[in-house]
A and B are shown apart, each in its own frame.
Chain A
Amino acid sequence: MYGNAYIDPNDKAAAMIANEDPQKLEAFEKRIAAGEKIEPKDWMPKEYRKQLIRMIEQHAHSEIIGALPEGTWITRAPGFRRKLALMAKVQDEVGHAQLLYSAAETLGKSREAMINDLIIGKSKYSNVFNYPAFTWADACIIAWLIDAGAIINQVANAKGSYGPYCRALDRICTEESFHLKYGHDNVVTLATGTQKQREMVQGALTRWWPPIMHFFGPSDKISNHTEILMRWKVKMASNDDMRQQFLNMYVPKIWDLGLVIPDPNLKKNEEGVWEYTEPDWDEFKKVINGGGPCNAERLAVRRNAEERGRWVREALNTTESKYIVPLA
């Protein structure tokens, strides 16, 4: 998992390159067009730096917040095999946060500042984690389908232009591919299991379908702003394209298991495009702005963890320790 970073559509395109040195900007864009990676010490437009920090930071937050709904099932996982696998999976996610915070730090914002912005509600994380994981099957659906969605997003972003982020994503995607197998194996076990297990997994899919459809974000308006971000290889694929890719890869697999997707309009049309009931974007906006079932709880847990751990961090902060920005 977990990130599905997206760009604020309200930013104005013109403002993005205002006050930048045109020659430097041109050279920068040429390098990107030639497929080169931008590295931390290289010149970059202010807006490029800002959008990347925001995107990577949001991705990192999604990893640690995403560890909460799944983490609650570690202590209840049924049997050694599942318990060990889930522990390893969630540990990977926290490790991804560590990698991503380091990647974002190369752009000049410290991990502490990022975590602080998270707990005061200033920066966002993936909206899906504002929903609860009611049953074991919810954790299994998350591991399969949310991770699947994240892989689509991250494989695209791994081809972006910022070196440290791309390298972190390459490693993350490799680990995610195991999570996907883990999640799929769990869902297959439940879907082909006893009556109680089948009901459990169907219930989870029904609950998680709307957040999954929300996962890639609303249709992007093709603005100059989006165009610049795509030229800079910050944004790599449109939200709708990623959603289509997801549906194409996973709907057949879900149907194969005899599970019912709660959308009567879902079908692939003659042009090979998936049609579906338009997700409720008002609900999406409400949740992203703090009105979801678990927003308050997730941030409270995170805040509490930060508070309880403060004395440990203070103890580490000795006179001989000094802050070092990671290299990449």
Chain B
Amino acid sequence: MNQNSTEAIKELLYKMADDLLIIGHRNSEWTGLGPILEEDISFSSMAQDKIGQAQAIYQLLHDLGEQEPDTVAFTRNANQFHNSQLVELPNGEYDFSLVRHFLYDHADQLRFEALANSSYEPLAKVARKVKGELKYHVFHANTWLVKLGSANEESHSRMQTAFNDAWNYALGMFEKSAFEDQLIAEGIFEGEDILQEKWLANITPYLIKAGIEIPASSNWKPVFGGRIGQHTAELSPLVEEMSEVFRYDPTAEW
């Protein structure tokens, strides 16, 4: 693997790990506050998977010479994160959290399925394990999206509104990296365009069942920037909170 490929892989790993860490953090904020106990438990469960998956990918980065997973996750500033802006947005109400979960997890499942065949074997190995976990996340999202999208007028209107709010941010997940062509050429990753196409094909039937309309593509305005460290004002407080104890005594073992 040449130096250039290593940089390309690192960029890919950072955006994936940061997405997982931040969405996991947001999911965990539902602990104790869910609309029913069972959902409290579901979001907590998914949060644990996401954070565990993030850790596994930071470990791959560490194997490539980056710092320890704890150091990377708990000492960077917001502008050093490569997550999409979608995942950093506050949880809002359960409708938004659920719609985001649906849009994010479908993309993540496809990303990990593709990466299970990556030419970069350490990542392929992690991806084969993670995609099994994601199956349940997607199943959860599909069930609730369809249920709440079609239950009654209020729930339908809430879900459609949340969907409209999330949509352009969701498109922002597919922001291309500077290494895109190289990743594709070397068989490391199939690329964001193909991923987005598959994602649209996968989410559409569930949206139809839920009665949720996708805006006309002429109105799509993907929110990019997250992958290069440009974030909403929401990320900084999240990162500060996350690292508050860790930074209290950086010399300590916790």
Contact = CB atoms under 8 A, between A and B. Distances in A.
A322 interface: no
B249 A194 contact: yes
A76 B241 contact: yes
Interface in A92-113: 94-95, 97-98, 101
Contacts, number: 126
A251 B133 CA distance: 42
Given A91-B48, A316-B151, A308 B31 contact: no
A67 interface: yes
A318 B152 CA distance: 9
Interface residues of A, number: 42
A306 to B, nearest CB: 8
A270 B34 CA distance: 51
Contact of A94 (B28, B44, B158, B241): B44
Contacts of A196: 248-249, 252
B65 interface: no
A309 B48 contact: no
B73 interface: yes
Interface in B129-167: 147-148, 151-152, 154-155, 158
Contact of A305 (B34, B51, B147): B34
Given A91-B48, A305-B34, A318 B151 contact: yes
B245 interface: yes
Contact of B55 (A78, A80, A98, A312): A80
A136 interface: yes
Contact of B51 (A71, A84, A91, A94): A84
A193 B39 CA distance: 37
B52 interface: yes
Contact of B242 (A67, A75, A88, A314): A75
30 contacts: A67-B31, A68-B32, A74-B28, A74-B31, A78-B254, A79-B246, A80-B51, A84-B52, A88-B48, A91-B48, A94-B32, A95-B41, A97-B37, A98-B38, A193-B249, A193-B252, A196-B248, A196-B252, A197-B252, A305-B32, A308-B33, A308-B93, A309-B35, A312-B35, A312-B36, A312-B155, A314-B155, A315-B148, A316-B151, A318-B151
